Chains A and B, each alone.
Chain A
Amino acid sequence: DTEVTQTPKHLVMGMTNKKSLKCEQHMGHRAMYWYKQKAKKPPELMFVYSYEKLSINESVPSRFSPECPNSSLLNLHLHALQPEDSALYLCASSATAAYEQYFGPGTRLTVT
């Protein structure tokens, strides 16, 4: 299984809502990532988890809260988002940091 899955595929939320994005992989990878991608722009790294520990936080606002419950799962908790947070959120995993990353299909988030 060389697949990274993400749910939901689409999410529309208001600025006062609390929601979560989920990511799962069963490749035994020990590094997992969250990226944010705006239209016609490259992905921007948000968080990196290595061996279930947060190793990189790219100065992301606290309204985004990552969680890695185990080596296969990665969540991104959302609270009090702004309309400018609307984007494609991509999850990726790799065997360990610096190895080839496998991306999920993404969650298209719209904040109204």
Chain B
Amino acid sequence: KNQVEQSPQSLIILEGKNCTLQCNYTVSPFSNLRWYKQDTGRGPVSLTIMTFSENTKSNGRYTATLDADTKQSSLHITASQLSDSASYICVVSEPGGSYIPTFGRGTSLIVHP
């Protein structure tokens, strides 16, 4: 069964600090991996999307890395802001037309002033 495991489950940091979220997956074959940010009660917003041939992708203060050999990804947030408080979800997809993505349970990030 395809699985996506995220860690930590929750994280509290001070404003201005950096943090790194982890995502390990067993999805195989692998098409792409996406990181989403979801504010409470709102729809997820895409941060990055990477295929198996990409090692890193940046979007402003967010940088995602991917190691397709070890099936690990990380999301690094630089100089955190209060608005970064949200749930961060890792989603992994298989190739092919019958598309069923596998969602991680998310990491809940709280940024304190």
Please report A residues at the B interface, Cβ cutoff 8 Å.
4, 6, 31, 40-43, 45, 48, 50, 55-56, 58, 88, 90, 92, 97-98, 100-106, 108
Asked if A106 and B42 sit within 8 Å, CB to CB, the answer is: yes
With A31-B99, A43-B44, A103-B44: A98-B105 Cβ-Cβ less than 8 Å: no
12 new A-B contacts at CB < 8 Å, known A98-B97, A100-B34:
A4-B43, A42-B104, A48-B99, A50-B97, A50-B99, A55-B98, A56-B99, A58-B100, A90-B44, A98-B96, A101-B101, A105-B43
Interface size on B, residues (CB 8 A): 26
Compute how far the CA of A32 lies from the CA of B94 in the bound complex, rounded to whole angstroms: 17
Closest B-chain residue to A92, C-beta based? B43
The B86-113 residues at the A interface (CB cut-off 8 A) are: 89, 93-101, 103-106, 108
Secondary structure class of chain B's binding surface, majority of residues? loop
Q: Which residues of A contact B58 (CB under 8 A)?
A: none
Among B41, B43, B89: residue with most chain A CB under 10 A: B43
